[in-house]
A and B are shown apart, each in its own frame.
Chain A
Amino acid sequence: DVVMTQSPLSLPVTLGQPASISCRSSQSLADSDGTTYLNWFQQRPGQSPRRLIYKVSIRDSGVPDRFSGSGSGSDFTLKISRVEAEDVGLYYCMQGTHWPATFGQGTKVEIK
């Protein structure tokens, strides 16, 4: 299985400051058609995961533009330009290129 490694696992952030989460895969996530199926999910306390970004950088409808995704191959990043209180929770990267799909361990974002 493709191993997804996130860092850091814990991310204390000051309100209004930027935050960045790294996700690395054990092999390239570029599919044979050139598409990279790398997604980011947010899980607020007590809620189910919510997809924020798919195919590396496409934001889902309703996701604030302070969230952005980037990367290629096996190295990806989720950035929050200015953290707000509602951003507290767990963030997961997930690859859908190789079967079975796999998730990162999760990064806990909290307010300092």
Chain B
Amino acid sequence: QIQVQESGPGLVKPSETLSLTCTVSGASISSDYWTWIRQSPGKGLEWIGYINDRGSINSNPSLKSRLTISVDTSKRQLSLKLTSVTAADTAVYYCAKGRTAPVYWGQGTLVTVSS
């Protein structure tokens, strides 16, 4: 059974870097696409980016300059780093398997950007 769990600090100060981890069990993290998606009251569901089995990354152009996505296969973890955050980055952040039709979503982790 595939399980996905996001983790990270719930509160980040404006202008700082948001760092999240997604831990995967029950599936090989190196054999498919893995995606980050966020959900906020103002913007709804927004695609952040994905990493594929060859380590190639594709980021939403709206976030590309601030975004880093990486994978640590030994730990079965994906990571997301978003720099220079503002209140607009406040959202629940999800990790999911797949690119064109994400499945096996984690429960999400709420990140609030506030001083």
Question: Interface residues, chain A, CB within 8 Å of chain B?
Answer: 37, 39, 47-51, 54-55, 60, 92, 94, 96-97, 99-103, 105-106
Contacts and interface: CB of A to CB of B under 8 A. Distances in A.
A58 B94 CA distance: 23
Contacts of B46: 103
**Chain B interface secondary structure, helix, strand, loop or mixed?**
loop
B101 to A, nearest CB: 4
B108 to A, nearest CB: 5
Contacts of A54: 100-101, 103
B102 interface: yes
B84 interface: no
Q: How large is the interface on B (under 10, 10 to 19, 20 to 34, 35 or more residues)?
A: 10 to 19
B45 interface: yes
20 contacts: A37-B101, A39-B100, A47-B107, A48-B94, A48-B106, A48-B107, A48-B108, A49-B105, A50-B105, A51-B101, A51-B102, A51-B105, A54-B103, A55-B101, A92-B44, A99-B58, A101-B100, A102-B47, A103-B47, A106-B45
Interface of B: 44-47, 58, 60-62, 94, 99-103, 105-108
Contacts of A50: 105
Given A48-B94, A48-B107, A96 B101 contact: yes
B45 A49 contact: yes
B103 A60 contact: yes
B101 A100 contact: no
A100 B60 contact: yes
Nearest to B63: A100
A60 B103 CA distance: 9
Nearest to B58: A99
Contact of B45 (A37, A94, A99): A94
Contacts of A47: 107
B33 to A, nearest CB: 10
Contacts of B62: 100
